[in-house]
Each structure stands twice: as structure tokens, then as C-alpha cells.
Structure 1
Amino acid sequence: MKRLFGTDGIRGEANLYPMIPEIALQVGRAVGYLFKNHHHQSKIIIGKDTRLSGYLFESALTAGLCSMGVNVYLIGPIPTPGIAFLTKDMRADAGIVISASHNPYYDNGIKIFDNNGFKLPDELERKIEKFIFSENFSEERALKEKVGRVFRIKDALGRYAVHLKSVVPPYLNFEGLKIGIDCANGACYHIGPLIMEELGAKVYPLYCEPNGLNINENCGALYPNEVKKLVLEKNLHLGIALDGDGDRIAVIDDKGNFWDGDDLIALFALYLKEKGLLTSPYIVGTVMTNQGLEKFLEKEGLKLIRTPVGDRYVVMSMRENKALLGGETSGHIIFFDKATTGDGLLCALRLATILIEKGKNLSEFHPPFEKFPQVLINIQVKEKKPLEEIPELLNRVEDLGKKLGKTVRILIRPSGTEPKYRVMVEALSEDLAKEVAEELAEIIRRNLL
């Protein structure tokens, strides 16, 4: 059976397979069929980021859903975690986000949430694929008065803003804090600066003028140096960089230090433990999480659980292990008491809350732990072949494992969202990590370019 879903929904260049309106139409039909509630009029909400092609897929998904008798509620531009929240808050049967996250404007994607705001497990994604490619499925459709209707929701951002502000204690505000926020010309362009201002911070917005073509363009979470310049030039307390759909964050402190997801998890783990808020001793990360964080958590009496890359796998493990905190090195941070997916703005609000409560600058907590040297290389490839089809690479990894033992940790995987292979090497020294990573990256280039 053909595969459409990767690690985070369906993704690709807009108007090239699989991100074509014909597939989006069928995704809408399949989602409508799968989540249709026979006890009441079904409703599914759709949100998007600021990409030009969002109009294309919004219309196609809407048509597919209505053809199955589902009412569609259009939200417009909103962060991905906003749809996760609103799906449950509005008692919708499912939620759909049209976004390619941190990818360039010419890419787009489709992410699907169930009625509780959780991303779909692999088995449900396989069901959707089965429906889409089934010859018999084309006969399923609503007729006459059962065809679905379309509505626009105007207060959606307000509902989400109220939810976000609920993480800040009512007796506390951000007066005196100077915060720079880079919204990547994406879905947070309006709500990001607004919510910080409403809580009393002096806000310095950056890249908050989307035009459909400039989302993530040399800005946002993948380019934190932009907000770093702002922090240092304006003497700010905090710099926040979000990605195009607002589900991940990069942080710059008052001294210009960069905080990745592992750093933030360490800080939040200590804070939550100190407050007695942790619901279990487990903190969830991924195979990419730095070993230094694992050892740091062990010293604090906490245990790191690793999952495959992808915040939905982190969330699944958090549910299983009753963990309150989890996330990825890339900046997806999940607080399970308030969110079902990574939420950059929610993370920023909790971070600012810590600074106000402690009366300290973030730089006073840096570095939160000692990291193992880690090198990550992304290799653009023509074809994402399975690792099993690159014997030269597998043999070399095996040789290095025998030679270097536990002093080196190697992770090689195809990206689930881009035409890339990722090579991560963690070692006791930066030079060794770089040497091994570059050698393995060159083998991939020889075989896949």
C-alpha cells in the first residue's frame, strides 16, 4: 500500500505529489468517514499557518469533508497547538492543521488530531491511507440534505489566548520584562506579541509580517541569531524564536546564550520538581536527546525515557508513563497538564513565569547541565532509501561500534518531513564526534546523491 504519512503528518512541496489538492480532497473524505459521529452532526475544525498554498488545501479538505456529511469550521491562521486545544474545547470530532512547520513557504503539510487533541497513532494513519487508495471508497458519500456545511469561527484566537494565559498564576504579571519574539512570519504573528503584552511585558516583535511567501525565511526557531541580535542590541531579558506553526521554540537568554530543547527540559524539570508538580519520576525525550541531560536527570532522582523522533511519540510515552514533562532537542516542549502537543508560546509563558518568580535572569541558570559533544549533519538526498539498502553505511557503523564501543553514540535516520538524511554522532570529544559524523555523511552522499 502507498504511504502518505511521515513522522508528522503528510508533507511535501505544494502542488507536487503527495501535497496536491486531489490527495487533500481524499484525505478530507477519509477523515470525515473515519471520525464521523452517528449520534450527532459531525464537525471538524481546520486551521492553517500563513503559507500561500494554505488556501488551496483548505478548500480541498473542506470539499472532501462536506462530501461525507461533516460540518467544517474554518479557523484561519492559528498555531498548531491552538487547533489541538480547540478540537477538544469545541467538542469537535477531529481537527486538521495545514502546515509544513519549519519548512520553506513552498512546502505544505496536513496534520490531524483526534477529538481529544492528540495526533493520530500510526494505525489510524494507515487506515486513512487505506481508504484513500481503495477503489470501493469512492462510492461512500453524503447525499441531498446530508451534505456538510461550512462555518467560519471568529473568536478562535481569543479562546486559545485565554487557555495560554491560564498557565500564568493570576497573581503574577510580566511587568518589567523586556521580551523579543520572532514569530517566523508564521501562525503566531498576531497572538504571540499580543499575549505577552497583555501580561505586561515590553514586547519587541520580529518577523511578524507574513505575506504568504516569507514564512520561516531566514527567521524563526531555525535562525535564532536574528532574535539574539535583538536581545543584545536592546538589552532584553529574553528572546524567543518560534517556527512557522508555533509548536517549537528556541530561546536566547539575556547574555546571548542559546537554549535548545534539552536545556529547557532540564530547567523545567528542576522547577517542577521543586514545586512538587511532577506526576511521576519520568521525563520523556527522544533518541536525539543529549546523554548529558539523561545523567543530569538521574542525579536529580528522575529518569529519562527515550522515544523515536517526533513529538507525537513523546506524547504517547508521556500518556503511558504519566509524565508531566517531555520534549525534543529541536524545541518541541510538552507540558501534559496544559497541552497535548508541543507549544512554543505556552513554553515561553512558563519560562517567563520562572524568571518573575525567581527574580533572576535566565543566564544565571546557564548552562543547566554539562552536554556531551554532539554533531548533527543534514544531507539533502534525491531518494530516501531504507538504511538496509545502503550496506556500506551499515558495515561502517558496525565497525565503528566495535572500535569505539560506548564512547560514541550514532544515530542515522531519514527525515520524516524533508528529503534529507540526518546523521547524529555524540562522543566524549567534539573532534571525534565531528570526524565520525563527516565520514558517515560522506558515505550517504556517495550512495544517495
Structure 2
Amino acid sequence: MGKYFGTDGFRGKAGEGLTTDHAYRIGRFLGWYYGREHKARIVVGKDTRRSSYMLEYAISAGMAASGADVGLLHVTTTPSVSYVTRTDHFDCGVMISASHNPFYDNGIKLLNGEGEKMEDSVIALVEDYLDGKLTVDGQPVDTLPMATEERVGHIVDEVAARNRYMGYLVSLAVYSFKGKRVALDCANGSAWHIAPQVFESLGAEVFTINTNPDGTNINRDAGSTHIEGLQRYVVENHMDVGFAYDGDADRCLAVDEKGNLVDGDQIMYLYACYMKERDKLTTNTVVTTVMSNFGLYKALEEAGINYEKTAVGDKYVYENMVKYGHRIGGEQSGHIIFTKYARTGDGILTSLKVMEAMLARKQPLSQLVAPMTVYPQVLINVRVKDKQEAQADPDVQAAVAAVADELGNTGRILVRESGTEPLVRVMVEAPAQEQCQTLAQRVVDVIKEKGHAV
């Protein structure tokens, strides 16, 4: 991770940690970098946060000032920006979103011309430019040239491309959803107008919650980070299934017909089994992160399916999938990647794939995930002054080692830093929920006692 960009882009409190000056300068750099040999073309999307508009205008102005032509998708999802970047041959794509964070945060995600997360080498150059340390051919670059006359870039509406993305999603469905009552929690975010239209086009009887964004209610008691609202709605309204997205709709969690949460691990399990049945799981492997549940691995082993483990972050999952040709991977949080269809996690695509498995197997979601037992897990986030210093503390490390010894082969402890926030995450899995809580809290107490918490 760099000074500004973490595992999921440049993120911070809008107007403070992430300002319009940052956005303008990033736009200036991108317009110049991709326009060195031809006139650059860049596509920009945003979520529903109030601050997304000012950042959109600032970064677009910077791009045009450097000579790039800019296409605006307006409010849309991160995977749609990835799709349009790739299929419409833009040089790069930008998504303005802080994903699942509160409305007062925002972020800038950069995608390369293939719709994948931007290469670290380019991110490093962006950071150097922001810090006034950019060099080209060994020479320092203090200022970037401004475009003039006919070289000034234009900024145009690209909403038609967003509609093509919606058509693409509809085209992937192999069954009609007619007769299915589907609840969608759109988190008052990017999916609020896209997901319902896609499901309605496929014939579902669609019921929505949290589809009235006002600029400040994105993710507020809504979406995949607050799944309890959808759980109640599914039960009270006798839904067949429910799906919840996050702010930029690159992740999806599900709720079965009984109101039970079906998380990313369970979604990967059910769809991997479905793929294996049809001889579509080409490498017979699911790519997970170290945060996936013990129960997933046991269930995959019983199904005769292999698995890989990567560092936390869908970026690392995707890199592993591409390197080894794997077809499905993701995170417990609901970032699921289907490399045959997308270059990023796509929440709406994920929900369509869950529907496909349900319809093909003619089983409710609860039955599809029944063979997988989810081990009790506790995750405690500790806000700290310095993430690396907290984890490097010898007393903290000793506490972690003691918990690991106590668990032995019956569970595990994982302590890691957040890639987007000043947090240390302490996760414990064990046979009993109470044991998880006790052991995780033991490590958290040491972090606090040593003065690392804020």
C-alpha cells in the first residue's frame, strides 16, 4: 500500500483526507499519462454520496485540462465502470466511491484499460505526482503541461454505456425469474436504479428497500453491512430470496427464504458446487482470502474441490485467479469474482448467479448452502494510532501466539490491518461463540493496555 492508495483506492474523509485538489491533480496526471502518445479517453462513474459530485467535477476538469476526453457514467456501480472501460476501449476508468464506508468518506478507485485495478507501478507515479516527486527519464517534473486550443479535452455524457452494461447482465441469465419474489437492498447507493431494472427485465417480482438516496444515507443501516434489515423484510414479506449490495455494488450478500444470512463464503461454495456438477469448474479450485471461514474449506474438501488462500483484498484474489486460470473466487464480505464474465467483484452479477443455481437445482437457497457448516467467528476492529506499530508490539504478538496455542487445530486467530481504515482487525474462529469472543477480546485488551488504541 502507498501513502494515499490502499487496497481499494484512495480513501478518506471528503474535504479533509480526500479533497477536490487531490481529485483535480489525479485527473491532471491521468490525462497527461495516458495522453502522451494519443488523445486519452477516460470514463468516470460515481456513487450517491453528496461529495461524489464535487470530486467527479474536479477529477474530470483535471483530465480535460491535460487534454483527455472524459465520459461520465454518472451514478453507477464500480463493476459497470470496469465493464465500460474494457468494452468501449477507454484508456482507464475511475470510480468515485468509498464503497461500504459512511457517506462522509469518499474514495477514488482507478482501473486500467482492461477494467482491472490499476497497476501498482502507475499508482506509484500518481503518488509521486501528488507529493511533487514525479520524475520522467530521470528528470523531475514540477508541472504538467496544460492543453490549449483544440487539444483541450471534452467532457460528455456516457449514460448509454451504463445501459449497455445493464443489457449485458440481462444477457447472462439462462432462466426466467418469473414467479420469484425477490427482495433487493440497494444501500441507497449505486445499485438503487440498476439492480431493480435488471431483475424486473428477467421477470422477477421485485421488492426494494433503501432505494431513495439523498446524498447522506448511503450504507446507513442499509445494504450488505447492515443485513438485518433485509433479513426481517424477507421473512415478513414471504420472499423467495433477498440480496443486499454495498455502496458501489461490487459486493453482494444474500438472505435465504427463512431469513438466514448467506455470506460470500457460502455463495462461493454453492456456486462452485454448481459449476463442478456441470464440468465448468475448469481448475477445480476456489480462490479465497485468509479471512474465509473454516467451514468453507471443510465443505469444499467434502465436495472434492480445491482452494487457494490469498491476502485480504479482492485485488489479490483476482491476481491469483488470472495467474492460474481459476474461475471463481472472492471474500466472505461478498466480493465474488467470476473471471469469465467480469474483471472485478460484481454484486448484481453475483445475485444473478445465485438465482441461476437456485433455478437450475430447483431448490431454495437454504438447501443449496445446507451442506456447509459455518464455524463461529468473532471479528473485533480496533481503531489504532499506527497499524504496523500495534501489530509489531512484542506483547501483542505474544498474546496472539498464546491464543493460537490454546486453539491448536480446533480453530485459528488472525490479526491484520485494514487496507482502507486505521484499524487492526482481530479475528478468532473456534468451536463455540463464547470461546471466540473471549480469546479475541484477550488480544484486544493487550492492544489497548499498550496504548495503541485511540
TM-score range relative to shorter protein? over 0.9
Answering whether residue 117 of structure 2 is matched by residue 113 of structure 1, we say no
TM-fit CA distance, 1:281? 1.9
* 1:264-286 CA distance string (max 9 Å, x none): 00000000111111121221010
User: Aligned residue for 2:303?
Assistant: 300
Answering whether residue 159 of structure 2 is matched by residue 154 of structure 1, we say yes
Distance in 2, Cα, partners of 1:388 & 1:183: 36
Which segment drifts farther, 193-202 or 117-126? 117-126
User: Aligned residue for 1:75?
Assistant: 73
Partner amino acid for 1:92? F
Answering whether residue 19 of structure 2 is matched by residue 16 of structure 1, we say no
TM-fit CA distance, 1:388? 4.9
Counterpart of 2:159 in 1: which secondary structure?
Answer: coil
Distance in 1, Cα, partners of 2:215 & 2:417: 28
Distance in 2, Cα, partners of 1:78 & 1:379: 32
Contact 1:184 1:219 in 2 (8 A): yes
Distance in 2, Cα, partners of 1:257 & 1:238: 10
Which segment drifts farther, 385-394 or 4-13? 385-394
TM-fit CA distance, 1:386? 3.4
Contact 2:384 2:390 in 1 (8 A): no
Which segment drifts farther, 284-293 or 439-448? 439-448
Contact 1:409 1:426 in 2 (8 A): yes
Distance in 1, Cα, partners of 2:57 & 2:328: 36
TM-fit CA distance, 1:101? 0.3
Distance in 2, Cα, partners of 1:354 & 1:37: 47
Distance change (3 Å), C-alpha of 1:336 and 1:144: same
User: Aligned residue for 2:402?
Assistant: 399
Answering whether residue 314 of structure 2 is matched by residue 316 of structure 1, we say no
Contact 1:102 1:222 in 2 (8 A): yes
Contact 1:27 1:61 in 2 (8 A): yes
TM-fit CA distance, 1:37? 5.7
Aligned partner of 1:42 among 40, 43, 52: 40
Aligned pair count? 445
Contact 1:49 1:78 in 2 (8 A): yes
* 1:154-204 CA distance string (max 9 Å, x none): 3133111111112212xx210000000010000011011111111100000
Contact 1:69 1:141 in 2 (8 A): no
Partner amino acid for 1:4? Y
User: Aligned residue for 1:418?
Assistant: 421
* 1:421-446 CA distance string (max 9 Å, x none): 21111223333222110111122233
User: Aligned residue for 1:191?
Assistant: 194
Partner amino acid for 1:87? T
Contact 1:220 1:241 in 2 (8 A): yes
User: Aligned residue for 1:140?
Assistant: 144
Distance in 1, Cα, partners of 2:46 & 2:146: 26
Structure 2: state its 5+ residue gaps: 134-139
Which segment drifts farther, 28-37 or 340-349? 28-37
* 1:10-69 CA distance string (max 9 Å, x none): 11110112x01111112112222333361x421000000000001111111112212221
Distance change (3 Å), C-alpha of 1:223 and 1:71: same
User: Aligned residue for 1:6?
Assistant: 6
Partner amino acid for 1:77? V
Counterpart of 1:142 in 2: which secondary structure?
Answer: coil
Distance change (3 Å), C-alpha of 1:107 and 1:423: same
User: Aligned residue for 1:86?
Assistant: 84
Q: CA RMSD in A?
A: 1.7
Identity across the alignment (%): 38
* 1:328-352 CA distance string (max 9 Å, x none): 0001011111011111100111111
Partner amino acid for 1:108? N
Aligned partner of 2:228 among 225, 229, 240: 225
Contact 1:250 1:259 in 2 (8 A): yes
* 1:283-331 CA distance string (max 9 Å, x none): 1010101122122222323221111111111101100110100000001
Distance in 2, Cα, partners of 1:426 & 1:337: 32
Distance in 1, Cα, partners of 2:351 & 2:306: 24
Contact 2:2 2:124 in 1 (8 A): no
TM-fit CA distance, 1:416? 1.4
Distance change (3 Å), C-alpha of 1:388 and 1:344: closer
Answering whether residue 440 of structure 2 is matched by residue 437 of structure 1, we say yes
Answering whether residue 171 of structure 2 is matched by residue 166 of structure 1, we say yes
